[in-house]
Amino acid sequence: MDLLAAAATTPSSPLATYLTDPWGFLHQLLGHLRAWATAWGPLAGPLLALTATGLITLRRRMRRRYQQRLIAGARLVTVLAPPSVDPAGAGALWANLLGLLRPSWRRLVGQPHLVWEYLFDADGVRIQIWVPGVVPEGFVERAVEAAWPGAHTRSGPARAPVPVVARPGRRLLAAGGELRLARPEALPIRTDHDVDPVRALLGAPGGLARTQRAVVQILARPVTGRRVAKARRSSRRVRAGGSATLLSGLLDLLTPHTGRTRRTRRTPTPIKVDHQTSLALSAEDRAIVTKGRGAQFEVRVRYAVVAVLDDTTSEDTAARVSGQLRGRAHAIASAFAAYGEHNYYKRARLRRPLPVLATRQLGHGDLLSVPEVGALAHLPVDEATPGLQRAGAKAVAPPPGVAGPGANVRPLGRSDGGHTRPVGLRVPDARHHLHILGATGSGKSELLARMTLDDVAARRGVVNVDPKGDQVIDILARYPLDALDRLVLFDADSSGRPPCLNPLDQPDRTRAVDNLVSIFSRVYHESWGPRTDDIFRAGLL
């Protein structure tokens, strides 16, 4: 009896209390929390609110400051497609751009992203890449040229892809939206196409007027770490029948029998197997594993169509133009239906599309693999793409034997293919049958002028015969002042006495006469004879 009384009066552990009387334990816990809140709530509540507000404000300021760093010094890289585009170049490009991934401690402030843009107007289509200012100059340009040999890039300061504010006396009409994945992001979109999927996108906004423009933006940011791990956990929960996110898990607790059912040992009833469903789930599982095996990007797709109208435009005309813009925006969004397979894109509303597309900010996006991003953002593969400006002839890197800068080398320029390096022409090679060919305006005269000035600077003798005179005027405008004493100018239009050149004014006059007689005998060999030779030689002597 004493032992039983002692056991009854011994306080039990919280776990034992919860197991024996769960509802009583919960009421007791709520009572303790209520008492703690009554005692410390007036002090802890404001402190927690101030701390949360301060953290949120600090994070917003840090993100705003980092966004300003991205915008400051940002540039646009215009990509000129080569005559023939390698379809595998897109995957190589985005795999190379994974080098933008920053260390983990620097990703706390922010991770830079890129924006691949298709710009449409009445003249055709232009492809460009928005590069933030924190990315080293030349990184993206070299990656593009390495992915598609023969492609050219032109860099310039960043500007808005479409007008955001109307000029005085004008007004803007716009239609746009955003594309998001309809199913869990662990499922991939289609990447293997029989034809180029960009073909439908390039033809969607066709027939734009001079006052209309369209743009499609693909914002991509490399991710790793917690973002990828979260997506993998979400994919496992979805396949297991659980909740993909914390919010959906809480909703499942409030609404029972909507999520995963708890299996018991008392259910011997066999489950009927649907072979088609089993094959479909197996294919999705393989696709999920394949997608999660490689590197990932966080991607968002945005689009907009804008038209500039006069303030005097009637409402009927404005309504008609607005309907056309909505139709073209719908066609652009429908072009992405070609990527539908295990996953697909659905349209989402985008408030104020013009300012959003102009700022190019990327918050949270959908997780895509490198092949998926390459399928979305790449150069058109079709050789006959209408309205696409190409790079022309494929640039070839100079062989290693081509001369570089040196004392006995004429500088020609810098190589356009491969790694940029100075290219020159050896002086002995320039004396033997050098021909400069090219279309009008391609720079032949400028090249000759630079070669002439280089010979003058190197104190090499040079003769420049210009039938028109424009090149000589250009050379004289850049002629060095310290070499004026070595300049002899023959001007046929001059009224003054021209400079004289006496070929006989040499120390050995007999040899000079022999040279002249030999030259004239070769030129007039058909009518040259001994008598002519004697008369000409006697006249020179």
Read off the pLDDT of residues 134-172 as tens digits, 9 standing for 90 and up: 888 889 998 998 899 888 888 999 999 988 888 888 889
Predicted TM-score (pTM) of this structure: 0.71
Q: Residue 152: what are its φ and ψ, rounded to 5°?
A: -115, 150
The string of DSSP letters for 245-292 reads: SHHHHHHHHHSTTSSPPPP-TT--PPPPP-HHHHHHHHHHHHHHHHHH
Nearest to 136 by CA among 80, 73, 81, 50: 73
Is the Cβ–Cβ distance between 305 and 176 less than 8 Å?
A: yes
Report how far apart, in Å, the C-alpha atoms of 282 and of each of 4, 255, 277, 278 are.
60, 29, 8, 6
Nearest-angstrom CA–CA distance, 510 and 518: 12
Q: Give yes or no for residue 269 having a pLDDT over 60.
A: no
Q: What is the pLDDT of residues 354-386, one digit of tens each?
A: 999 999 988 888 999 999 999 999 999 988 787
Using the Cα atoms of residue 255, residue 258, residue 259 and residue 262 in order, give the sign of their dihedral: positive
**Beta bridge pairs of residue 182:** none
Q: Which of 38-42, 269-273, 292-296, 397-401 has the lowest mean pLDDT?
A: 269-273
Worst-scoring range by mean pLDDT, 18-27, 109-118, 453-462, 487-496? Answer: 18-27
Summarize pLDDT for 488-517 with one digit per residue, the tens.
Answer: 888 877 777 777 778 888 888 888 889 888
How far is the C-alpha of 44 from the C-alpha of 33, rounded, in Å?
A: 13
What is the rounded average pLDDT for all residues in the chain?
82
511 vs 207, more confident: 511
Average pLDDT over residues 429-451: 84
What is the rounded average pLDDT of the residues 429-433?
80
Higher pLDDT, 10 or 325: 325
Among 99-113, 163-177, 333-347, 420-434, where is mean pLDDT lowest?
99-113
Measured CA to CA, the distance from residue 374 to residue 336 in angstroms comes to 14
Give the type of residue at 266: R
pLDDT at 94: 93
Backbone phi and psi for residue 103, each to the nearest 5 degrees, phi listed first = -60, 160
Residues 398-427, mean pLDDT to the nearest whole number? 80
Of the candidates 321, 312, 161, 295, the one whose C-alpha atom is nearest the C-alpha of residue 228 is 295
Q: In this model, does residue 6 exceed pLDDT 50?
A: no
Please give the pLDDT value at position 427. 86
**Percentage, residues of the chain above pLDDT 70:** 87
- What average pLDDT score do residues 279-297 get? 85
Mean pLDDT lowest for which of 124-128, 189-193, 403-407?
Answer: 403-407
> What mean pLDDT do residues 111-135 have?
91
Kindly state the tokens that stand for 383.
């050789």
Percent residues over pLDDT 90 in the chain? 25
Q: What angle do CA 380, 385, 390 make, to 5 degrees?
A: 75
Q: pLDDT at position 433, please?
A: 74
Greater confidence (3 vs 529) lies with 529
Predicted confidence at residue 110, as pLDDT, reads: 73
Stretch 84-107: mean pLDDT, rounded?
83
In DSSP terms, 181 is beta-bridged to 345
Structure-model confidence comparison of residues 40 and 354, the more confident one: 354
Cα 540 to Cα 506: distance, rounded to the nearest angstrom: 13
Q: Are 109 and 162 in contact (CB under 8 A)?
A: no
Q: pLDDT category, 268, cuts 50, 70, 90?
A: low
> Which is more confident, 461 or 395?
461
Per residue in 220-266, pLDDT tens? 999 887 777 777 777 676 555 555 555 555 555 555 544 444 444 44
pLDDT at res. 144: 92
Mean of the pLDDT values across residues 78-92?
90
pLDDT at 182 (0 to 100)? 92
